[in-house]
């Protein structure tokens, strides 16, 4: 198959004033596009057949000979998650199942929000800050460069891009202001809830998760 660049789920100017149209035009139209194109080129050169980005990532993770293909496929995948992790009118207090899980695993939203910002600020060099399900527990974690939780058996719920190309046009080196803008005004909790629902449907044996989330299983 040949991968196509997925469209943004909103207009290029929809995230202003927090992320400018110029940033999205470069970030989606140049960076993300280049990762998709390079993935197609390298997969063809390697004569790899695959059905999805996830399949490429699984097939190439940890293999030095396929490192460039892994990096480009993982970056293409991570950006696809990132565009849905933010939205106009998002941010602030979560709702639904993710709110219950955050309360159970972090105590309260403010604690989780502080840990998210600390993770963004603590990433040395390029990378990503994630809210993931690790087994049946909610965790905040970072990956460096192109690495992705999908290569480590974790389920991504939300991600913040911590490469400089994500914020430098708008905030120059002030990563903290970018982190605040994302967390307070853009995070898409509905997307996290959709990812949780998909994981629940695929994982029927999840007694401990249900206990953590306060979900009653049918008798």
Q: Which residues contribute to the site for Mn ion (CB under 5 A)?
A: 161, 163, 166
Least gap, CB of 92 to Mn ion (angstroms): 23
Sheet of strand 155-161: strand arrangement: 137-144, 127-134, 155-161
Nearer to Mn ion, 112 or 166 (CB): 166
State in angstroms the smallest separation of the CB of 115 from Mn ion.
22
CA nearest to 170, candidates 13, 20, 68: 20
Judged by beta carbon, residue 132 or residue 146, the one nearer Mn ion is 146
By beta carbon distance, the residue nearest Mn ion is 161
- What minimum distance in Å lies between the beta carbon of 75 and Mn ion? 7
CB of 82 to Mn ion, least distance (A): 7
**Would you say 163 or 171 has its CB closer to Mn ion?**
163
CB closer to Mn ion, 82 vs 209: 82
- C-alpha to C-alpha distances, 98 to 131, 157, 202, nearest whole angstrom: 10, 9, 17
* Residue 139 beta carbon to Mn ion: minimum distance, rounded to whole angstroms: 22
Task: Please say which residue, 74 or 113, places its beta carbon nearer to Mn ion.
Answer: 74
Task: Give the span between the Cα atoms of 147 and 75, in whole angstroms.
Answer: 8
- Residue 90 CB partners (closer than 8 Å, separation 6+): 185, 186, 187, 188, 189
The answer to whether residues 186 and 87 touch, using CB atoms and an 8 Å cutoff, is: yes
Q: Which DSSP symbol is given to 172?
A: T
Q: Report, in Å, the least distance between residue 164 CB and Mn ion.
A: 9
What is the three-class DSSP state of 148? coil
> Which DSSP string corresponds to 9-51?
SS-TTTTTTTS-HHHHHHIIIIIIHHHHHHHHHHHHHTT---S
CB nearer Mn ion, residue 34 or residue 46: 34
Count, residues in the chain: 219
Name the DSSP letter for residue 219.
-
């Amino acid at each position: 198959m040949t991968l196509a660049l997925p469209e943004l789920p909103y207009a290029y100017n929809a995230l202003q004033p927090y992320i400018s149209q110029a940033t999205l035009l470069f970030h989606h139209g140049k960076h993300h596009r280049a990762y998709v194109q390079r993935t197609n080129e390298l997969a063809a050169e390697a004569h790899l057949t695959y059905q999805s980005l996830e399949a490429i990532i699984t097939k190439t993770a940890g293999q030095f000979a396929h490192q460039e293909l892994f990096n480009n496929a993982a970056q293409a995948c991570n950006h696809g998650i990132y565009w849905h992790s933010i939205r106009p009118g998002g941010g602030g207090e979560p709702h639904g199942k993710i709110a219950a899980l955050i309360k159970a695993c972090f105590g309260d939203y403010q604690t989780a929000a502080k840990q998210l910002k600390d993770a963004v600020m603590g990433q040395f060099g390029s990378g990503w800050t994630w809210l993931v399900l690790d087994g049946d527990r909610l965790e905040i974690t970072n990956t460096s460069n192109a690495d992705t939780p999908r290569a480590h058996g974790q389920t991504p719920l939300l991600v913040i891009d911590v490469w400089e190309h994500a914020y430098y046009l708008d905030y120059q080196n002030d990563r903290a202001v970018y982190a605040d803008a994302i967390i307070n005004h853009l995070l898409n909790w509905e997307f996290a809830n959709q990812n949780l629902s998909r994981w629940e449907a695929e994982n029927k044996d999840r007694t401990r998760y249900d206990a953590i989330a306060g979900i009653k299983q049918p008798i």
